[in-house]
Amino acid sequence: MRYIFNPLIVTIALLFLSSCSRNPVTGKKELNFMSESQEIAMGEQSDPDVVAQFGLFEDETLQNFIDKEGQKMVKISHRPDLDFEFKILNSPVVNAFALPGGYVYFTRGILAHFSNEAEFAGVLGHEIGHVTARHGAEQYTNQILSQVGLMVGLVVSPTVRQFANEISQGVQLMMLSNSRSNESQSDKLGVEYSTKIGYDANQMANFFRTIGRIGARAGANEIPDFLSTHPNPADRFSKVHELAEKWQQKLQLPEYKINRDSYLEMIDGIIYGEDPREGYTDNNVFYHPELRFSFPYPSGWQLVNTPQQVQMAPKDQNAMMVFSLAPAKSLREAADGFVQQFKLTVSETNSKTVNGYPSYQMVADQVNEQDPSQSVRLLTYFYQDKSNNVIYQMLGVAPRQEFNSLSNYFMFTMDNFKTLRDPARINVQPDHIRIVSVPASMTLAQALRRYNMPADRFDELAILNSMELSDKLNANEKIKVISKGKSGRP
């Protein structure tokens, strides 16, 4: 038998021996390459990017409620000394997530879909559970382990070298399984934490049913459970109900809160869906009422609007246009900074006025020295908006060999950037949730008709209310409806 001294393997062995820590939730020792201080640093570093990407939804009433219940839950969690921050993101997407170190986020979209405080508390506990169980650190460790495992195998085993691709795919499936395991553990912690602060965790199970209905209505393709990073909503519904009953029997509290009416009163007037004041599209034109500009984009292209930028791309993804603010005080400063940032080789420049905006245009290449065939060409317009004292930039990028066939699409959009003056386009208002009390016993469908809701939105409103259209409502029972106009919220 031959023994081969390999410095890589020795280093890895020493690294493993020095990287065991005790999990705060399970109490078991586990391999972990991320310290608590590193977790906190990761959250602190990532939080500004999250806020910049989505923007914050400013609502004092909801923020105070989330802070109060969040801190109450942290105190009974497995990491009560960790500083948590809770934020509401200005996004219509139904989502909540957490970053390592104690940063927890709820979108206004998910807050609109909760029907009581207990549903919120269950999801709050679930997200806090991701942090207390150190799932972010675990995923980081698993990524290192998978990479190191392949490195060692490639060094010592001809067989591993031969089947490296297949083994890599197996590692990815293992990571998915770990992720599902983490979600299931966070479900358990969500039940535990929400029950301990007095909420009925059965409502958390009911919200998983709402999540399933949202996905089905959106036409989300079901993928096999073994390829999903989250457990099946139907399976979670049953399991969470079982866990809720066990914890309620264990704690034997006098009552478990649901607090439907108080929660509905808190979200009365909240923005629902996209907020057109921050940009919207109509007939392949993008309008921004607050910044007072508009531009067309090519038919068949998809547009994604975020607080930071507007992205447009055809379905085949062989090109892209991006519109954003330029961090500069003049057109030339913006152009020079752009060239330096992306290491561009400029081939053409021009100055002209575009619909009243002083502008500077530039054609440049970003050369891939290792593989020139992967080089791209950019057409970039910089516009000076003197009314807002800002510089905008619009860039179109495509593979260099395909640029000429796509440049007309870029110029069509860029040459038609203009000031928005139409009052009808400027004064658009978003949908808001309104809470109403039905005057008598009736079905949800009858109530929606009574409040003049469009028939084509009945299914959407049934999901929003966590009900079926045939469900019976009692007199004075509160439901959510949708209206336009100013919210009147603080």
User: What residue segments make up the domains of the chain, in order of their start?
Assistant: 11-267, 276-426, 430-484
Name the 3-class secondary structure at 452.
coil
Give tens-digit pLDDT for 62-99.
Answer: 999 999 999 999 999 999 999 999 999 999 999 999 98
Average predicted confidence (pLDDT) for the chain: 84
Residue 443 exposed, middle or buried by CB count within 10 Å (0-12, 13-18, 19+): middle
What value does the mean pLDDT take over residues 108-128? 97
pLDDT value of residue 360:
97
Q: Distance between alpha carbon 207 and the CA centroid of its chain, in Å? A: 18
DSSP reduced 3-state for 381: strand
At residue 307, the pLDDT reads: 85
pLDDT, greater one: 31 or 400? 400
Q: Give the model's pLDDT for residue 171.
A: 37
* Measured distance CA(410)–CA(378) in Å, rounded: 10
Length of the chain: 490
Strand ranges for 84-146 from DSSP E: 85-89, 96-99, 103-107
HEC readout, 356-376: CEEEEEEEEEECCCCCHHHCE
Q: Among 63-72, 134-143, 205-214, 445-454, where is mean pLDDT lowest?
A: 134-143
E strand or H helix that includes residue 338: helix 331-342
Report residue 464 CA to chain centroid gap.
19
In terms of Cα–Cα distance, which of 326, 354, 353, 351 is closest to 340?
A: 326
Q: What is the tens place of the pLDDT at every residue in 316-335? A: 889 999 999 999 999 999 99
Q: What tokens were used for 168?
A: 């890599």
What confidence score (pLDDT) does residue 232 get? 61
Q: Check pLDDT > 70 for residue 366.
A: yes
Predicted local distance difference test score (pLDDT) of residue 388: 87
Does residue 397 have a pLDDT over 80? Answer: yes
Calculate mean pLDDT across residues 457-482. 97
| pLDDT value at residue 18 | 43
Least confident of 103-112, 272-281, 362-371, 406-415: 362-371
List the one residue out of 481, 449, 479 whose CA is nearest residue 467. Answer: 479
Question: Could you give the CA distance from residue 484 to residue 251 in angstroms, rounded to a whole number?
Answer: 45
Q: What is the DSSP letter of 354?
A: E
CA distances (Å), origin 63, targets 69, 70, 94, 113, 367: 10, 10, 17, 16, 48
Least confident range from 96-110, 145-159, 296-310: namely 145-159
pLDDT in tens, 156-174: 444 433 444 443 444 344 4
Q: How many helices (H) and strands (E) does the chain have?
A: 16, 21
388-404 burial, b at 16+ Cβ within 10 Å, e below that, comes to: eeebbbbbbbbebeebe
239 contacts 395 by C-beta, under 8 angstroms: no
Q: What whole-number distance in Å separates Cα of residue 163 and Cα of residue 150?
A: 10
**CATH C-level class of 276-426:** alpha beta
How far is residue 42's CA from residue 270's CA, in Å, rounded to a whole number?
31
Alpha helices, DSSP H only, in 55-116? 60-75, 108-113
Beta-carbon contacts of residue 157 (< 8 Å; ≥ 6 apart)? none
137 confidence band (pLDDT: 50, 70, 90)? low
Q: How far apart are CA 136 and CA 132, in angstroms?
A: 10
- Per residue in 330-360, pLDDT (tens digit) is 999 999 999 999 999 999 999 999 999 999 9
Amino acid (one-letter) located at 72: K
Distance CA 429, CA 270 (A): 13
Residue 483, SS3 per DSSP: strand
Supply the pLDDT for residue 181: 78
Name the percent of the chain lying above pLDDT 70.
80
Mapping DSSP to helix (H, G, I), strand (E, B) and coil, where does residue 390 land?
A: strand
Pick from 230, 228, 184, 233: which is nearest to 213 by CA? 233
pLDDT band with cut points at 50, 70 and 90 for residue 25: low
**How confident is the model at residue 306, as a pLDDT?**
86
Each as own residue / partner, the long-range contacts of residues 166-171 (CB below 8 Å, 24 or more positions apart, any chain) are 171/146
For the ranges 25-39, 95-109, 123-137, 448-462, the lowest mean pLDDT is seen at 25-39
pLDDT of 27 > 60? The answer is: no
Beta bridge partners of 304: 311
Please count the other Cβ atoms lying within 10 Å of the Cβ belonging to residue 444: 21
